[in-house]
Chains A and B, each alone.
Chain A
Amino acid sequence: MSIEFVISDWRAWYAGVSEPADWQRWRSGELKLQEDIQADVSFLPAMLRRRLSPLSKAVFNTAYPLLQQRDIPLLCCSVHGEAMRTYSLLQGVAAGEDLSPTAFGLSVHNAIVGQLSIANKVRSPALALAGGDYPLLAGFMEAAGILQEGIKEILLIFSEEPLPQMYHPSAESPSAICATALLLTLPAEGIKGTGVTLVNSSSIKVKTAFEEADYQLALVNALVENSGKIPLAREWELQINAN
């Protein structure tokens, strides 16, 4: 079984690398990743920007330029979501403090996609997905379902941030904030872009996407190369420009 898509455009943000040309330089080793840097969202109004966490800034930095104010469905996948916000709320609960209504409202799993839809005046469905151990597979599967229903184009977003130290013995997370946004359509006459195939293959053995902690980097790497195979889960892989 296989499902084909076309990525008509994409953006990714990871440790200061964001523009397509920068990703080429990163791939060729010319550009080093930076620590302690936040994604640029200076294009947003200050009253909107003030509520964005470092993770949601990375999402806005990737998704906003691709949307260009268009009203298309949004699908936001993240295993842990706003983990840092949730953790600091839990610390507040443990200390018996009153919780910040803003932090509480923005800690829920669909907070980022909600803010993105408000900022872009998107009235199409905006969906937040966790995806368990296989966020890439879950995201592409869900996207396939939405596109099969007749939706022409969706924005598929993956985002993760490192979990607080306390969770490290029991859960996997990436080493730095990372967000990837893909403009996705089904193949059709006149649709240009990168061909992507979700392939069911018995030879693929992956226990969790976090076997490679920064699971989005494998995808970004293949997109920069314009070819490659990314194992997603047990018996599933993603092939870039296989045809």
Chain B
Amino acid sequence: MSELVDELKTLIIEVLNLEDITPEDIIADESLFGEGLGLDSIDALELGLALQKKYNISIDAENKETKSHFASVNSLAKFVSDSRA
């Protein structure tokens, strides 16, 4: 799982052009949106697209649980690993 967490941090930095941020700067259990890293709704779409491409998983924008999957890197890692299983 920690390998996946690191991979996701790198993915976030790459697809969202976070030029001044390193993987170490992203705290795995801290909020990605609003407070914490400070990503916005367009980032959520971009990240969703990147996850679908890279891990071949489907994300349902209508599903209420989707928002909680995107809360932090840890929750994303759990979502990706569950979806792949």
Contacts and interface: CB of A to CB of B under 8 A. Distances in A.
A105 B18 CA distance: 18
B20 interface: yes
Contact of B18 (A46, A98, A101): A46
Interface string A46-74: 11011100000000000000000000000
Nearest to A98: B49
Given A46-B20, A50-B17, A50-B19, A101 B42 contact: yes
Interface string B4-44: 00000000000011111100000000000000001000110
B17 A51 contact: yes
B13 to A, nearest CB: 10
Contacts of A49: 19
Interface in A75-93: none
B66 interface: no
Given A100-B46, A102-B46, A50 B52 contact: no
Contacts of A51: 17
B20 A102 contact: no
Interface residues of B, number: 14
Interface in A99-122: 100-102, 105
Given A46-B19, A50-B18, A102 B38 contact: no
Contacts of B17: 50-51
Chain A at the B interface: SS class: helix
B16 A50 contact: yes
B39 to A, nearest CB: 9
Contact of B45 (A46, A47, A50, A101): A101
A50 B42 CA distance: 13
A47 B52 CA distance: 24
Nearest to B16: A50
Contacts of A47: 18, 38
Contacts of B21: 46
A139 B68 CA distance: 47
Contacts of B46: 100-102
B53 interface: yes
Interface of B: 16-21, 38, 42-43, 45-46, 49, 52-53
Given A47-B38, A102-B45, 7 more contacts: A46-B18, A46-B21, A47-B18, A50-B16, A50-B17, A101-B46, A102-B43
Interface of A: 46-47, 49-51, 98, 100-102, 105
